[in-house]
Structure formats: C-alpha cells, structure tokens
Amino acid sequence: MTKNNAPPHHPSPSRSFASGSAGVGAPVSGFSGADLITPPHLSAPAFFEGGVAAPQAEYSLNFDDAAFANELFGPHNAGLNLLAERAGLHIASRGGTVTIRGEEGRAGMAQNLLVQLYALIKSGTRLQPRDIDHAWTMLEQRPDADLKHIFKDAVFSSPLRKTVVAKSLNQRAYVDSLREKDMTFAVGPAGTGKTYLAVAVALSMLLSKRVRRIILTRPAVEAGERLGFLPGDMAEKVNPYLRPLYDALHDMLDMEKVAGMMESGVIEIAPLAFMRGRTLNDAFIILDEAQNTTPEQMKMFVTRLGFGSRMAITGDITQIDLPSLPGGAKRSGLVEALDVLKDLEGIGIIRFEKADVIRHPLVGRIVQAYDGYQNTR
C-alpha cells in the first residue's frame, strides 16, 4: 500500500453515499473475494484548536459477487449506512464496489469488517444489518478479532427457529465458560444476553444429550411484590417471575415442544424455595436475577450442584431489590458469592459491560438519554 498527501477522492454523484460521526483498527492484510483495488489515499491532517486531527484515508473494495455484496450491504444499503454512522466515516457504493473515506484507523477497521463479513456470507452464514453493529463493537474492543470464529460458532440452532450466536467478545467468553465450567456467574446490565445465552447453551446440551433436563429458577423478590398476593400454589405464584426464561425458550423452540418438555419434566420450573435438600445430577440449572438472593439462599443453591450438571447464575448487582438492612445496606447473595468463590477452580465469572448490551438501536439511544437526564439532576 502506498501513501501520499493528495486529498481524498470524492465518489461520483451516481454512487449511493453514507456518512456518520465517530473508533481504532488496522487494514486487513488478506482478502477473500474482496480486493483492495486502490491503495489508501491519505490527506494532510486537518488542524483543530488544541491539536492535530488523525490523518484521513480512503479505501476502495471490489466484491466479486453482486448477490453476496448486496446481502452484505443490506436493503437500501442499511448495513453500510449503519457502519458509516457507527464508525464516523463516509461510505459510498456502486455495484460491487465500496469506497470508505475518513479517519485512517477507523477506515482501515471498516474495510477489515466488510471483508470478514463478506467471507462469512460467501460461506453460507446469514447476517442481518444489525450484525454489522455487533461486529464493529467487537473490532473496537479487539482489532484483530476473528469474526468468523464468533459468528460461525452457533450456540443453538433449530431448522424452524433462529440460530443463536454470540454478538460480543464477552458473550463469546460467556458461552465458552458455560460449555467448559461446572458453574458460571454472569453479572452485568440488562440486555447483555446473560439469561438468553444460558438458555441457548442449556437447550443445546439437552438436545445433544449432555444433560437430561433443564431446571429454571428465580427468586421472587422484586419491586416490592409479595407472593402472598398472587393466586395459586407456590409454583404458580413464581411463574410470572420466570417469564424472561419462558420467552427465551419460546424464541428457540415451538411452544408445543416447550409445553411437552415441561409436562414430562425435561424442563422443570423450580422455585428457589423448593431447591433445598435436593442434589441435581445431569441437569443444566439456571438461576436468574440472582442479585435478589440472600447469602443463605445462594449458599443453599450453589451446593445443589450434582454430577454431570452445569449451573448458570445471572444477575445485575446494580438492581438489588432486597430489603435494606439498618444503615441502608443490602445483603445480596450474588455479591457475596462473587467474592467468596472468585478463585475456585471450575467456576467462571463473566462481567458484562454497557458495550455488550444487544438492543434495538433506538433503545440504546433512549437509555443514553435517560442516563444523561439523570446526571444533570
């Protein structure tokens, strides 16, 4: 690749053009069906008050199959538009050719992303425009990330339903821990896939006969609700609190299949209060909303692990709904367990961050707006 100080070439008006505002990366070194047809042209750096801007660069990529290229670009170039917005770049397309223009590091990372995702599409992987957003986040966190390794490794796949894959590097580490460790703690904000991926791994292990049943449990202490006011027996009272787990199951399997598994006991809803005294062998056990367990409940739960079993314990330690102790403190069993068990072999701890939140883009902007509003109060 050669560099010069000529200003970047401007795409002709007949091209579809996208631009955005705001990331680091290096140009990809190998291509598969996508050729870097012109070397990057670098402009002289622009000067701003207080310093010098990073040098600008332009890359042109030519994709050898128009159908695969259109799938990568998305309907009406939705994928390219999303990439331009996330990366803060100008991205133009005409036919199978894409021109990327902007800050050198981000431009190089964008062409790396497009080349890797194009190779995935050619190999038969179906991608959605939002996957470009997930891929960009991963490359921001680790510029040398192998997107093929992440997107090709299906966590759970059903012919009639969706294929579940990790969407961030922390999600990838979480899936690996669920597969390899006897017990995995996952803590972090809502929307990071803690519960959803645990259900996906549980179903995968069930259908491959690595476990014989799935047990779902959740403490029923939230938002001031008391079980005594709900109709039915204990299991019926706790069912409303398990809706997120049901939703994940129904997203991956037909409702009739889920109902049949529950009727036969292959999938069991076990209120946390009913776990005492049991030893759970050959099972995948998921404890959701674990931040609302007391230390005594958490100790009771983690000691239920039997041979051939896996445990996933998920929660958000910033959302503890337990009654406050004198002085305002709240004794969460999850917080205590993370400290007590952090160095034990066979236990994995994954800490998700805001960057791992997988949501509709508008929801992300809404959360940011609320955060900004609360910070100004």
Same domain, 177 and 145: no
Q: Which of 186-195, 229-238, 332-341 has the lowest mean pLDDT?
A: 229-238
Is the pLDDT at 52 greater than 80? The verdict is: no
126 found inside a domain: yes
The answer as to whether 320 is a domain residue is: yes
**In a shared domain, residues 136 and 247:** no
The whole-angstrom distance between residue 336's C-alpha and the CA centroid of its chain comes to 26
As a whole number of angstroms, the distance between CA 69 and CA 57 comes to 22
Is 373 inside a domain boundary?
no
Provide the strand spans (E) within 142-279. Answer: 183-187, 213-217, 267-269
pLDDT at 6 > cutoff 60: no
Q: In the beta sheet, which residues pair with residue 60?
A: 38, 99
164 belongs to a structural domain: no
CB 309 within 8 Å of CB 281: yes
Residues 324 and 195 in one domain: yes
The whole-angstrom distance between residue 145's C-alpha and the CA centroid of its chain comes to 15
Q: What is the pLDDT of residue 34?
A: 59
Residues β-bridged to residue 91: 18, 100
Is 38's pLDDT higher than 60?
Answer: no
Tell me: do 188 and 325 sit in the same domain: yes
Helical residues (DSSP H) of 227-293, grouped into ranges: 234-238, 243-252, 255-264
> Does residue 3 surpass a pLDDT of 50?
no
What's the confidence (pLDDT) of residue 299? 96
Same domain assignment for residues 187 and 234: yes
pLDDT tens-digit series, residues 337-370: 999 999 999 999 999 988 888 877 677 678 778 8
Per the structure, the complete domain to which residue 293 belongs is given by 169-357
Same domain, 338 and 255: yes
Residue type, 81: N
pLDDT surpasses 80 at 53: no
Q: What is the pLDDT of residue 42?
A: 52
Q: Who wins on pLDDT, 16 or 169? A: 169
Q: What mean pLDDT, rounded, does the chain reach?
A: 81
32 and 97 together in one domain:
yes
CATH number of domain containing 225: 3.40.50.300
- Answer yes or no: is 198 within a domain: yes
| Number of folded domains that form the chain | 2
Q: Is the pLDDT of residue 7 over 50?
A: no
**Joined tokens for residue 67:** 């159908």
Do 120 and 181 fall into the same domain? Answer: no
pLDDT computed for residue 232 by the predictor: 61
Tell me if 307 is assigned to some domain.
yes
Same domain, 40 and 79: yes
176 lies in the same domain as 105 = no
* Whether residue 371 has pLDDT greater than 50: yes
- Contacts of 279 by beta carbon, 8 Å cutoff, 6+ apart: 304, 306
Tell me, what's the pLDDT at 163? Answer: 82
Laid out side by side, the sheet with 34-38 consists of 16-19, 90-94, 97-103, 56-63, 34-38
> Looking at 66-70, 72-76, 102-106, 157-161, which range is the least confident one?
157-161
pLDDT value at 169 more than 70:
yes
Q: What is the distance between the alpha carbons of residues 322 and 223, in angstroms, rounded to a whole number?
A: 9
Is a pLDDT exceeding 50 seen at residue 44? no
In the chain, the amino acid numbered 145 is A
pLDDT in tens, 267-310: 998 778 788 889 899 999 999 999 999 999 999 999 999 999 99
pLDDT mean over 319-348: 86
Over residues 100-157, the pLDDT tens digits come to 999 999 999 999 999 999 999 999 888 887 889 889 989 998 999 999 888 888 898 8
Residue 121 pLDDT: 93
Same domain, 175 and 312: yes
Residues 174-199 have pLDDT tens digits of: 999 999 999 999 999 988 999 999 99
Both 135 and 190 in a single domain?
no
